[in-house]
Amino acid sequence: MQGDVIAKKEDKGWFYTDLVKEHFFHPKNFLEDESAYKDAFMGMVGSPACGDAMKVWIRIQDGRVIDFKWKTFGCASAIAATSILSVMVTENGGLPIEEALKLRPQDIMARLGGLPARKVHCSVLGDKALRSAVNDYYRKTGQNEKIEIEAGRIIDSVLKITDHDIEEAVLEGADTLEKVQQRTKVGTGDPACLPEVEQLIRFYKEKYFGA
């Protein structure tokens, strides 16, 4: 695992900050025994494209997230991003739920001092897992009207490819139409959607990379 967090001189794009390495080698709030958190609210998310899977457990008191435990099976970036997220959510007495839900991948990356472009999707895992856990809280406390469901909008009507599929491709490094098509095959079934695909690529590149 250590080779994943040490930058090679010839590949500056894989550089990890000292804080990323600290949270990888010494993760905070990692959950060893799931049975101890059966009473907590749980969220789970996975990314088949990179093999990462994540679970988080939260406890809420007086509208604040006072505890955040997690377990992830993934790369150094996924581990570090979840570790720092658990600190961000629970420090200073815990964030109000509404503030916790406002955290975005950019906030996690900024706190870590940055992640390699090809690993940005790892910070998205933590963001989505947290929202899933909060939804579990809303569901179990009868606040169903507050549950946020991520429903992708279909872009390619033939292949049923959604805007979320395009988003994930960009997060995984596909920064051109050709690269997105290689990953998703979007437009091969419905060529008329390609102008919208190009707009989405520009939007997600700006959103996550400022490019």
Q: Are residues 142 and 191 in the same domain?
A: no
Q: Are residues 117 and 60 in the same domain?
A: yes
Query: CA 119 to CA 139: how far, in whole Å?
Result: 31
At residue 176, what are phi and psi to the nearest 5 degrees?
-135, 165
Q: Are residues 24 and 126 in the same domain?
A: yes
Q: Considering the entire predicted model, what is its pTM?
A: 0.70
Half-sphere exposure of 49 (CA within 13 A, CB side): 17
Total domain count for the chain? 2
pLDDT digits (tens, 9 = 90+) for 152-206: 788 988 888 888 889 888 988 899 999 999 988 899 878 999 999 999 999 988 8
Q: Are residues 82 and 28 in the same domain?
A: yes
Query: CA 167 to CA 6: how far, in whole Å?
Result: 28
Looking at the chain, the whole-number percentage of residues with pLDDT higher than 90 is: 46
Provide the 8-state DSSP code for 166: H
- Structural domain boundaries, residue 131: 2-146
Residue 50 among the catalytic residues: yes
Q: Are residues 59 and 122 in the same domain?
A: yes
Q: Are strands 52-61 and 64-73 parallel, antiparallel or unpaired?
A: antiparallel
Q: Which residues fall within 8 angstroms of residue 177, CB to CB, at 6 or more apart?
A: 187, 194, 197, 198, 201
Structure tokens that stand for 154 in this block: 């279909």
Out of 58, 81, 100, 122, pick the active-site residue.
122
pLDDT digits (tens, 9 = 90+) for 135-155: 999 999 999 999 987 667 889
Out of 5, 20, 50, 201, pick the active-site residue.
50
Residue 108 belongs to domain with CATH number: 3.90.1010.10
Q: Are residues 22 and 98 in the same domain?
A: yes
Residue 193 among the catalytic residues: no
Is the Cβ–Cβ distance between 43 and 37 less than 8 Å?
Answer: no
Query: CA 149 to CA 132: how far, in whole Å?
Result: 9
Structure tokens that stand for 72 in this block: 């992830």
